[in-house]
Chains A and B, each alone.
Chain A
Amino acid sequence: MMAALRDAFLSAVIALGLFVPMVGLVLDNGDRGLVLRGRPIAAAVLVGLVFVGRLVMHLWADRPGKEARTIRASKIVPKAANRFVAPILLAAAVLLPLTGSRYYVDLGTLVLTYVMLGWGLNIVVGLAGLLDLGYVAFYAVGAYSYALLAEHFGLGFWICLPLAGIMAAFWGVLLGFPVLRLRGDYLAIVTLAFGEIIRVLLINWVSLTHGPNGITDIPRPTLFGLRFSMDDGDDTVAGFFGIEAETIHRVIFLYYLILALALLTNWVTLRLRRLPLGRAWEALREDEIACRSLGINVTTTKLTAFATGAMFAGFAGAFFATRQAFISPESFTFIESATVLAIVVLGGLGSQLGVALAALVMVGGLEMLRDLLSTVGEQMGSEWFSGLAGDLPTYRMLIFGLALVVMMVLRPRGLVSGRTATAEMR
């Protein structure tokens, strides 16, 4: 008990050190420039919460019969998850537009874009074990391929989609060649640099890419040649089917488009995993030298992993361009690569379901948290928390970071760890 109290006290001291600058002090616009205000009560409440929380954690950990429980939990979760969670998620994804809420469909589109990027990167990082910190570069290549082909040659989305994938795969091979000999940290640094090179190139090659101004008026996708438009022409979806033109039609169409693209990524990955190529990727992750001794061409195997992963990023990029109708280099910063990598690692390297769950939590959850915090903030207009209420949504990254740390402590190998074998002997 004394040890628990001591530990809780130490945690509270650390919390004090953290929360005094982060929550206890706030800069406000005063009469003459910025003024520093104190917010002692809010900080004290948080420190108190840490103290109590730590104490409760100790008491919880010391309760009898704990050992058996943890072992059982870690064994059951992956199997049950695979059997039930995936179909439920899929059904929810298919049915989501029925809510008719533009907000949810837009959010779903965003989440699915990251699911697709996560599944694409999962091939490179999760299966082949090649740490790629510049994945956003291929996303950018795909987006700019479509935007430029549409601008200069007037090509439509459906022709450009495969072209964008091919372009991205080509750049994947181009990146792959110089980094063939690199592993681990060194590979990470070079891929990080590659991501930056592409972005800097897009900013500075003004004559081709319009530099930081980006490309505007990227054509929207069509449904078998039918446009989504508010005018009632015969070649619009609304005109053809004789229904009232609404903007949500296009939003829902885009949602199903990215759902289909993401499922394609998933299907191809699952197929490839069960083929010699996918097995060679996993073998490469486990032991490159042993692969070579078995006659596997390590060079081509690595390049196919880079190319396949990049191709799906290219598809996602073309989708991103057509959805936004505007792209600029700002959309392809390192933070995007980091987010996608975080999704893959958090989900559990190599796990398709884990990646989908992690994208849902990291992208969708973060947005939901923002809304939740603003609602909570409005409720507590108390003097004690003076000014904190309105700022609450800005703390979402803090809460999110905390959630990630907790998550990594509880499930260090990701949400869904453990792999399924690609062949079985009966």
Chain B
Amino acid sequence: MLSVTNLTMRFGGLTAVDDLTFQARAGEVTAVIGPNGAGKTTVFNCVTGFYRPSSGTIEVAHADGSRFRLERMAGHLIASRGKIARTFQNIRLFAGMTVLENLLVAQHNALMAATGFGVMAVLGLGGYRAAEQAGIEKARYWLERIGLVDRANDPAGSLPYGAQRRLEIARAMCIDPELLCLDEPAAGLNPRESEALNQLLLGIRDGGCSLLLIEHDMGVVMRISDHIVVLDRGRKISDGTPAEVRADPAVIAAYLGEGEDA
């Protein structure tokens, strides 16, 4: 699915990610964990095209067999062609627009294709009306899954925090991604919301979309991940199933600090 090979990212003299290699397999939830400042978000930004890596390759393989080299693609193409969607650590919804509009903006490229370069649709010709109706139905499907159908016509900024988190995930899913990258999706959620989020994420995985997530909440990570990559100071220190990672002395040392005599 996603192969990151020898990825290095330097900011001036600081090496945030150092020669990192890992894979996220199709149909699995892969978690990237590590202490603060380990370089998790930097990896994320490289994968989703917000940073251009200093060196290394990032390759994504779709279910239909097509392959894309992400480190060379323009930012918006990673989402539209590479089919990689992401959410943000600090929620980035279009706060002034309604919930439904947020989900329609996410389908921009599909809907735009139906407008005939805009001219046809301005004149009311072509099949745009049907395309928009299909877009609204898709939005309804996702709103039903996150339980926000009745808030569809409210401004996104007026939703409670937990609902905004779910909406951001639904919006990302509206681009029909092959890989969904989540930056701390459980941050700030209460235990009940957190459990609902787990169910949503597992449902998305079972729907055929692979997941890559950064998370601090170990409860979420251990319960839903199939595969965990542990970073510390920009390097990979462990890689394996939740059980393997939990037992790895290097991970324990990174999280709890190394003993005085070690």
Q: Which of B29-37, B79-87, B217-225, B249-257 contacts A (4 or more CB under 8 A)?
A: B79-87
Q: Are A419 and B96 in contact (CB under 8 A)?
A: yes
User: How far in angstroms is the closest Cβ of chain B from A290?
Assistant: 4
Contact A421 B153 (CB under 8 A): yes
User: What are the residues of chain B within 8 A of A275 when measuring CB–CB?
Assistant: 111, 115, 118, 121-122, 128
Which residues 249-302 of A sit at the B interface, judged by CB distance below 8 A? 268, 271-272, 275-277, 279-280, 282-283, 286-287, 289-298
B172 contact set on A, CB distance < 8 A: 293-294
Judging by beta carbons under 8 Å apart, are A296 and B105 in contact? yes
Q: Does the CB pair A290–B112 fall under 8 Å?
A: no
Q: Indicate if the CB atoms of A423 and B132 lie closer than 8 Å.
A: yes
Smallest CB separation, B62 vs chain A (Å): 15
The verdict on A216 contacting chain B, using a C-beta distance below 8 Å, is: no
Given A276-B108, A290-B88: A295 and B101 interface contact (C-beta under 8 Å) = no
A423 with B122: CB separation less than 8 A: no
Distance in angstroms from A126 CB to nearest chain B CB is 12
Which B residues are CB-close (under 8 A) to A296? 76, 105, 108-109
Shortest Cβ distance from B177 into A: residue:
A295
- Interface residues contributed by chain B, number (CB under 8 Å): 45
CB < 8 Å neighbour of B97 from A276, A283, A425: A283
Q: Inside 8 A of A31's CB, which chain B residues have their CB? A: none
Instruction: Determine how close the nearest CB of chain B comes to the CB of A171; give it in whole angstroms.
Output: 20
Cβ contact within 8 Å between A425 and B100 = yes
- Residue A213 lies at the interface, judged by CB distance under 8 Å to chain B: no
Which chain A residues border B94 with CB–CB below 8 Å? 282-283, 286-287, 290
State in angstroms the CA–CA spacing of A424 and B50 once bound together. Answer: 32
Is B179 among interface residues, defined by CB-CB distance under 8 A?
no
CA distance A277 to B122 in the complex (A): 11
Contacts of B175 in A (CB 8 A): 294-295
How far is A283 from B94 in the complex, measured between Cα atoms in Å? 6
- Residues of A contacting B86 in the complex (Cβ-Cβ under 8 angstroms): 293
Decide yes or no whether A422 CB sits under 8 A from chain B.
yes
Contact, CB under 8 Å: A279 / B115 = no
Q: A286-B96, A421-B101, A425-B149 are in contact. Are A280 and B108 (CB under 8 A)?
A: yes
Q: Determine which residue in B107, B122, B152 has the highest number of CB atoms from chain A within 10 A of its CB, and name it.
A: B122
Tell me the complex Cα distance, A275–B128, Å.
9
Do residues B122 and A268 form an inter-chain contact, with CB atoms below 8 A? yes
Chain A interface helix/strand/loop/mixed: helix
Given contacts A271-B122, A272-B122, A425-B153, contact A295 B140 (CB under 8 A): no
- How far is the CB of B125 from the nearest CB of chain A, in Å? 12
Contacts of A276 in B (CB 8 A): 104-105, 107-108, 111-112, 115
In the assembled complex, B24 has its CB within 8 A of some CB on chain A: no
Q: Is the CB of A283 within 8 A of B105?
A: yes
B213 contacts chain A at the CB level, 8 A cutoff:
no
Q: Which of B78, B79, B100 contacts A423 (CB 8 A)?
A: B100
Q: Determine how close the nearest CB of chain A comes to the CB of B114; give it in whole angstroms.
A: 8
A292 and B75 form a contact (CB under 8 A):
yes
Q: Determine the residue in chain B with the shortest Cβ distance to A275.
A: B121
Instruction: Give chain A residues whose Cβ lies under 8 Å from the Cβ of B107.
Output: 276
Would you give the shortest CB distance from B153 to chain A, in whole angstroms?
Answer: 6
A304-B143 Cα distance, complex, nearest whole Å: 31
Bound CA span A419–B48, Å: 32
Chain B residues whose C-beta falls within 8 Å of the C-beta of A304 in the assembled complex:
118
Asked if residues B105 and A295 are in contact (CB atoms below 8 Å), the reply is: no
A421 to B79, CA, bound (A): 26
Contacting residues, chain B, for A423 (C-beta < 8 A): 98, 100-101, 104, 132, 136
Whether B105 lies near A291 (C-beta < 8 A) is: yes
Closest B-chain residue to A304, C-beta based?
B118
Does B139 have its Cβ within 8 Å of any Cβ on chain A? yes
Contacts of A277 in B (CB 8 A): 112, 115, 118
User: What is the CB-to-nearest-CB distance from A118 to chain B, in angstroms, rounded to a whole number?
Assistant: 20
B76 touches A297 (CB 8 A): yes
Interface string of B121-138 (1 = CB under 8 A from A): 110000010001000100
Which residues in B have their C-beta under 8 angstroms from that of A297?
76, 80
Nearest-neighbour CB distance to chain A for B33, whole angstroms, equals 22
Whether A293 and B101, one on each chain, are in contact in the complex, defined by CB atoms closer than 8 angstroms, is no
Residues of chain B within 8 A of A421, CB atoms compared:
97-98, 100-101, 153
- A419 and B143 alpha carbons, distance in the complex (Å): 22
Q: Which of B75, B77, B92, B121 contacts A287 (CB 8 A)?
A: B92
With A293-B86, A425-B139 in contact, is A282–B118 under 8 Å at CB?
Answer: no
In the bound complex, how far is the Cα of B48 from the Cα of A350, in angstroms?
Answer: 32
Contacts of B48 in A (CB 8 A): 293
Q: How far is the CA of A276 from the CA of B107 in the complex (A)?
A: 8
* Cβ of B187 under 8 Å from chain A: no
Contacts of B50 in A (CB 8 A): 289, 292-293
| Chain A: CB-nearest residue to B48 | A293
Judge whether B95 is part of the interface by a CB distance below 8 angstroms. Answer: yes
Task: Decide yes or no whether B171 CB sits under 8 A from chain A.
Answer: yes
Bound CA–CA A286/B95 (angstroms): 7
Nearest chain A CB to B169 CB, angstrom units: 12
Within 8 A of B (CB), among A64-119: none
What is the CB-to-nearest-CB distance from A276 to chain B, in angstroms, rounded to a whole number?
4
Residue of B nearest to A280 (CB): B108
A290 touches B93 (CB 8 A): yes
Top 8 closest pairs, chain A to chain B, by CB:
A295-B80, A295-B79, A286-B94, A425-B152, A290-B92, A276-B111, A283-B105, A276-B112
Interface residues of A (CB under 8 A from B): 268, 271-272, 275-277, 279-280, 282-283, 286-287, 289-298, 304, 419, 421-425
In the assembled complex, 14 residue pairs joining A and B whose CB atoms fall closer than 8 Å, in A order, are A276-B104, A276-B108, A279-B101, A283-B94, A283-B105, A286-B93, A287-B94, A293-B86, A295-B76, A295-B175, A297-B80, A421-B100, A423-B98, A423-B104
New A-B pairs, 16, CB < 8 Å, besides A276-B111, A294-B79, A296-B105: A268-B122, A275-B115, A277-B115, A279-B108, A283-B97, A286-B96, A292-B75, A292-B76, A292-B79, A293-B79, A295-B108, A296-B76, A296-B108, A297-B76, A422-B101, A425-B149
